[in-house]
A and B are shown apart, each in its own frame.
Chain A
Amino acid sequence: MNNPFILFQLKPAPDLRTQEGDILPLDVLKARYTKVQAACHPDSFAMASEAQQKAASEMSSRLNQAYKMLRDDLSRVKTWLALLGLEIENQTTKPDMDLFELQMDLEERLAAVAAGDESQKATLIQDIESIKAQALDWFVSLAQNTPDTIEDVDTCLNQYSKLALSSRLEQRLYSM
């Protein structure tokens, strides 16, 4: 698989939302994305050969995909873990009662909001965002130790599950 971080010449990291000095990595990503799109977009090769047009279209679509992978928190963390040799798809997670209960609770509250109980919405959003932020922070502190591989796989998967759960619920909340 292509390494989307390399494509945009970014240092692999689980988080791009934290300010580094006066730079916000997410802004850097966006600026680079548009810069490389300008250089590769098929619109700029309309008068070139078919092969060149095809190559431009393929590159442009690769950039779109890579950009999406890095912009979204969950897929970015997943990509970062894969670079450290941990392929989420190939893992089996141990059943975790705490996580299960958390999920049930959030799903229930989400269902209530979906059924029209708007009063709960704000706190639900807050709770989901905070679960997400905590999980993300966990990966950020892991990254600070610049590991070569993931040692505590179980904790890592547990944190990833929290991130996945909160991302999924966030998505559903927004599309309501």
Chain B
Amino acid sequence: MALMQIAEPGQSPDPHKKTLVLGIDLGTTHSLIASVKNGTPVCLESADGEKLMPSIVHYTESAVEVGVQTEKTKGVDVLSIASIKRFIGRSAKEVQQLLEAFPVDYEWDFTDAAVPKVKTPQGLKTPVEISAEILKTLKKRAVQHFGVDEINSQNADSFKVVITVPAYFDDAQRQATQDAARLAGLSVLRLINEPTAASLAYGVEQDGTYLVYDFGGGTFDCSLIELNGDVYEVVATAGDTFLGGDDIDHALSEWFLATHLDGKKTKNLRSILKDAKERLSSQESVSVMDFTITRNDLTQVMEPILARTYKCIQRLLQDGRKSVKEVNQVLLVGGSTRSPQVFDGITAICQQQPRNDVNPDEVVALGALAQARKMTSKDVNHLLLDVCPLSLGLETMGGIVEKIIPRNTPIPVTKEQIFTTMKNNQSALKLHVVQGERESVEDCRSLAQFELRDIPPMAAGVARIKVRFDMDANGVLKVSAEELSTHHVASIDVKPSQGLSEEQLLEVLQAGQASAGEDINARLDKGARIELQRIIESCDHAFAEDASLLEDADQAAFAEQLKQAKALAEDAAATREDLKAMRESLNAVSEKLAALRMDKAIQDALKGTYI
């Protein structure tokens, strides 16, 4: 029989409906997956007993393997891709720029300027697809640990995950990460920022201000977080998505080449020096290829890189309007914080010894898990209030950016701004959405361009065009524009200029399943039915609790729709389209009640208080 776990009272899962609640740290150099096992949150081990999985994807003509070291697959024509996270959600131009500073030994295809691809023995693969392979492997690990059966593991709904991203990841990078999860068959509850996740699992209990210094393999983030009871409120965040342990390795090999090898390239130099770097954490000096490297040499190589992180800290404190003395504790996260240089540097900059008593590799995945548990269970009560890391704006006349959502604005957030036309009878307005702190459009990152067309003829300056920015709790942006006199609307998910389109994504998804010999149709049918059932359940619950908030006529309409939906969910002949349409109409009918329930939630929360 299948092995069982002890459930909370009344919460035993039905057969084939086991849901795994997971936290994933999708890192540049290493990835981890965490779940509750035997009642304890842990990072899951591989069959070899390793929790850290190298984020390296190996492609051969017939197979994809993740995490294993290259040595093991010797003898076969294999392409190994490391640190793909550096390239996810980036345009061809950006990848090309990155490659100059961070060369790789595989080839790219830049035919599609929006979606650069890697040439692999299995054809062209996008960074999203390559990242999905890492996620699939982590998912497999969870399946092995919990004995999830075949039927269950094909259903993305059985895997409720929170995935962490660098706080400084922009919109395109976040969307790409969500796409990768979809390809891997995971249902994403939320993307949360790595330093925020770390604070959830660090075991801080005392109210106060915490500075999280998260220095990983490829990215650097720092966040200022205020803890007040169960509430983790991010005050400000800063960082650099091109700064990590990788850069130290790179700098170290450049230095070694120049000072000891007269510029003569040597095979595997970087990994040899990476090893030397790690040994220098505990030793004063190490010998490399008949030369001696001292800890002091390394300190000097690291100096300019660490200086960049200290600059981020300064800006962080400034944005958060805090002085270093007001920080109660500094929390170290990420493998690169193991080096004594970081510890000493932070001690000097922050005027206190940072905490490093928690495993810096595991804490992010465990924090993601804590958030996943909060979102799936009523028993976990913390509240996470995060911010948008980078300013978002629109291009205006002369290539100047008008900021709509300034950085460090708490999310979710909605902002509206009215614009007008510049010329008489102007019939279209082009909107260019950008992200970044600089004033000139050229210096910011272009997220999307779209046009509001069919504006009725009007004199210049008369049309009133309302542009609305919606950023959800994942830090993902949606922009819409409406001409107010005609209510003509144009809207987009900010996606097209980088990353995969919805169609491309579906294509990849279907291709993958076809090769696995799955019946996509059957799977989609089943998915549609489960979706409808889930919504019925939730509406049933809402209606039972709060039907009285609705007026009689609305109550009757709601009850009727619910009845019809239940009938359809039981109807074996219902098609996927039927189920989907019913889901949409049930959702539409329930909107009013949903909003009223939120008003009630607020009133209940503040009952009896007024000053």
Contacts and interface: CB of A to CB of B under 8 A. Distances in A.
Interface of A: 7-11, 20, 23, 25, 28, 32, 34-44, 46-52, 54-62, 64-65, 67-68, 174-175
Nearest to A28: B611
Interface of B: 189-190, 228-231, 233, 318-319, 321, 371, 374-376, 381, 383-385, 409-414, 470, 472-473, 534-535, 538-539, 542, 586-588, 590-591, 593-595, 597-599, 601-602, 604-606, 609-611
A136 B189 CA distance: 44
21 contacts: A11-B610, A20-B611, A28-B611, A34-B233, A34-B385, A35-B606, A37-B385, A43-B383, A44-B375, A46-B376, A49-B535, A49-B590, A52-B542, A54-B591, A55-B595, A55-B597, A60-B473, A61-B412, A62-B414, A64-B412, A65-B413
A174 B599 CA distance: 37
Given A9-B606, A49-B535, A43 B473 contact: yes
B383 A34 contact: yes
A27 to B, nearest CB: 11
Contact of B414 (A49, A50, A61): A61
Contact of A46 (B190, B229, B599): B190
Contact of B606 (A36, A61, A64): A36
A20 B409 CA distance: 29
A61 B388 CA distance: 12
Nearest to B598: A59
Contacts of B375: 43-44, 46-47
A46 B587 CA distance: 15
Contacts of B595: 55, 58-59
B376 A49 contact: no
Contact of B591 (A51, A62, A67): A51
Given A41-B383, A55-B591, A64-B412, A50 B606 contact: no
A64 B383 CA distance: 14
B473 A39 contact: no
Contacts of B318: 174-175
Contacts of B597: 52, 55
A42 B374 contact: no
B412 A55 contact: no
Nearest to B319: A175
Contacts of B605: 35-36, 38-39
B189 A46 contact: yes
A73 to B, nearest CB: 14
A175 B316 CA distance: 11
B538 A37 contact: no
Nearest to A62: B414
Classify the secondary structure of A's interface with B. helix
Given A34-B231, A47-B376, A64-B411, A56 B598 contact: yes
A7 B414 contact: no
Nearest to A63: B602
B598 A55 contact: yes
Contacts of B374: 43
Contacts of A62: 414
Contacts of B189: 46
Contact of B383 (A9, A11, A37, A51): A37
A36 B601 CA distance: 8
A22 to B, nearest CB: 12
Nearest to B377: A47
Contacts of A60: 412, 473
A54 B473 CA distance: 11
B528 to A, nearest CB: 14
Given A9-B611, A36-B606, 19 more contacts: A9-B606, A9-B610, A20-B611, A23-B611, A34-B229, A41-B473, A43-B384, A46-B189, A46-B375, A49-B539, A49-B586, A51-B590, A51-B594, A55-B591, A56-B594, A56-B598, A64-B409, A68-B410, A174-B321
Contact of A39 (B376, B602, B609): B602
B222 to A, nearest CB: 17
A8 to B, nearest CB: 7
B377 to A, nearest CB: 9
Nearest to B470: A61
A101 B179 CA distance: 56
Contacts of B411: 61, 64
A174 to B, nearest CB: 7
Contacts of A54: 591, 594
Nearest to B315: A175
| Most B Cβ at <10 Å: residue of A39, A42, A43 | A43
Nearest to A57: B412
| Most A Cβ at <10 Å: residue of B374, B409, B604, B609 | B609
A73 B189 CA distance: 36
Contact of B413 (A28, A40, A42, A64): A64
A49 B594 contact: yes
A58 B413 CA distance: 8
A32 B606 contact: yes
Nearest to B538: A49
B606 A42 contact: no
A44 to B, nearest CB: 8
A164 to B, nearest CB: 17
A25 B602 contact: no
Contacts of A48: 538, 542
A9 B591 contact: no
B383 A38 contact: yes
Contacts of B231: 34, 37-38
Contacts of B409: 64, 68
Contacts of A174: 318, 321
B472 A58 contact: no
A144 to B, nearest CB: 16
A47 B538 contact: yes
A39 B597 CA distance: 10
Contacts of A35: 605-606
A12 B12 CA distance: 50
Nearest to A31: B228
Given A11-B611, A55-B594, A39 B414 contact: no
B209 to A, nearest CB: 14
A49 B231 CA distance: 25
Contact of A8 (B371, B383, B473, B606): B606
Contacts of B588: 51
